[in-house]
A and B are shown apart, each in its own frame.
Chain A
Amino acid sequence: MPKYMFLMHERLGANDELSPDEMQEIVAKHREWARRLKESGAYMANDLLAKDGRTLRRPEKQLQVSDGPYIESKEIIVGYYLVEALDYEHAVQLAGECPAICLGTLEIREILAK
């Protein structure tokens, strides 16, 4: 069965204005969603990524390293889920109810077989 990666993008500052009640609701819904994902057997792995990082560039043959992955970007990848699904349609169905979408975007990419 093909594997898919759910890349969770978050809008910078999306969390700042949430009320404690809203935060709690998102956590609870996310955990419920993850639980259903596991129950369905689709879940393989997930991880949370640190928000700071390094970005490398090499303009004019000189390596430049800058802090933060999100230079020039309004969204950063905050985590991922690795799942097994029948096809994109099925993967979209699995991801569709994830509440993280309300804080940014969820990108689904198939992992290509070697």
Chain B
Amino acid sequence: MTANSSENDVERLVDHLFRHEAGRLIAFLTRAFGTENLDLAEDVAQDALIKALEVWPYHGVPENPTAWLARVAKNRALNILNRERVFTSKSKQLTDVLALDHPSSDETDKPNSDAFGDVDDVVRLMFVACHPSLSVESRVALTLKTVAGFSVGQISSALLAQPTAVAQRLVRAKKQIRELGLSFEAPLSELPARLDSVLHVIYLLFNEGYSAHEGSDPIRGELCEEATRLANLICTSDRWDFGRQPRVHALLALMLLQSARLPARTDQGGDLLLLERQDRSLWNRTRISDGLRHLDQSAKGAEVTAYHLEAGIAACHAIAASYDETDWSHILELYDQLIAINPSPVVALNRAIAISRVQGAEAGIKALEAVQAHPALQRYYLLWATLAKLHAEMGNFALAESDYRMALTCTSSAPERRFLDSSRASVVAAPGGSRR
């Protein structure tokens, strides 16, 4: 194997090349080996990456890293097929799959050649990993492991779970897939329901990355990026024409519009900044316009999903010139529709904020008091922080201060606590504040 060792070959190691290639290799190998051999597919993919780790430092990064890895993985897979008895029944067919783009075609392999781990294979693998029979936690972990190329350690940091628990969850999920006898190609009749499950997992990945948590491992931020990449893959895979499903565009729009604001969400010290205090010039304009384009596409057709409404709300924020110039009445309408589809306490909380912008702080407090007793909200710091802010707006600083103190008892996240501490200090210092 010859490899070019030009001086700038490091540039060929594009961001997360290894991680994304892991997903492509596993997807292709799962097609060859069957979903019952997902473990084997993962092992072979890992072997190919290890080979690159060993060879590339000395020989240079090849002109076409993707084709190089594909070749190594295929050779290894062919060796296994020739050796292992498990495959005798179908090894002829499998050898044909692997031979489609045979190793001898060497350096001229195109990076996206059909036979190897193309977009459709990766999408198929997502459908396996997100099968509705698996628990939601398993779907999320399995997608991160097999499709996104995260290690168990990274998954546990990303999901704030113990590595052993993640490992066990993965083993269980793969066992279930074997027992279910899932085919790599989902039957057409199951596609709509299974698409919803895939989109839900992507949505969860995004939210997990978007919420600010303790420790702030950088891998958490990468969840947003990864979720957006996966949704893009689904959108561009033309085999099933998912690009014509409005809800796929709605989800993509939602994630693009939300993540466009990420660069402005914390100050230089890493502290959270409220929407109203963010420097809007830091928002990613390209993402916003991409998001708005997908929002447009999501409007083709009659369906209105929660993704549509959330994306619509995110769009109102993204296009507003300032906090005060935000179209709060439209946001409130969208929340009214959203709460009809998804009557969750967190949606109710956000709707109350919109009410306070449209009808005033007092109406907002009333709306909050109506949902406050919900068990999911009683210990939710944002409920108390919101009440505090509205009480302060009404000049009721003593109540605001005690609300902030309640909020502080509800979170252990360092950035959230710093934010609450400084908010509390500002109401204490306010004229007529409860300084003691």
Point out residues on A near B: beta carbons under 8 Å: 15-16, 18-24, 26-28, 30-32, 34-35, 38, 46-48, 78-79, 100
Contacts and interface: CB of A to CB of B under 8 A. Distances in A.
Contacts, number: 73
A18 B53 contact: yes
A32 B9 CA distance: 9
Given A28-B13, A32-B10, A35-B7, A23 B18 contact: yes
Interface residues of B, number: 28
5 contacts: A18-B151, A21-B18, A22-B151, A31-B57, A78-B54
Contacts of A19: 19, 149-151, 153-154
A32 B8 CA distance: 9
Contacts of A79: 57-58
Contacts of B57: 26-27, 30-31, 34, 79, 100
Interface in B58-102: 58-61
B16 A21 contact: yes
B60 A48 contact: no
A27 B58 contact: no
Contacts of B59: 48
Contacts of B17: 24
B165 interface: no
Interface in B375-413: none
B55 interface: yes
A75 B61 CA distance: 25
When A and B form their complex, which 3 residue pairs have the shortest distance between CB atoms, in order from nearest? A19-B151, A30-B57, A20-B18
Contacts of B180: none
Given A21-B16, A46-B58, A48-B58, A31 B10 contact: yes
A78 B153 CA distance: 27
A29 to B, nearest CB: 9
Contacts of A34: 57
B22 interface: yes
A109 to B, nearest CB: 19
Nearest to A78: B54
Given A23-B18, A27-B53, 20 more contacts: A16-B46, A19-B150, A19-B151, A20-B16, A20-B18, A20-B19, A21-B16, A21-B149, A21-B151, A23-B52, A23-B53, A24-B13, A27-B56, A27-B57, A30-B57, A31-B57, A35-B7, A48-B54, A78-B54, A79-B58
A62 to B, nearest CB: 33
A21 B19 contact: yes
A64 to B, nearest CB: 28
A47 to B, nearest CB: 7
Given A31-B10, A31-B60, A23 B16 contact: no
Nearest to B19: A20
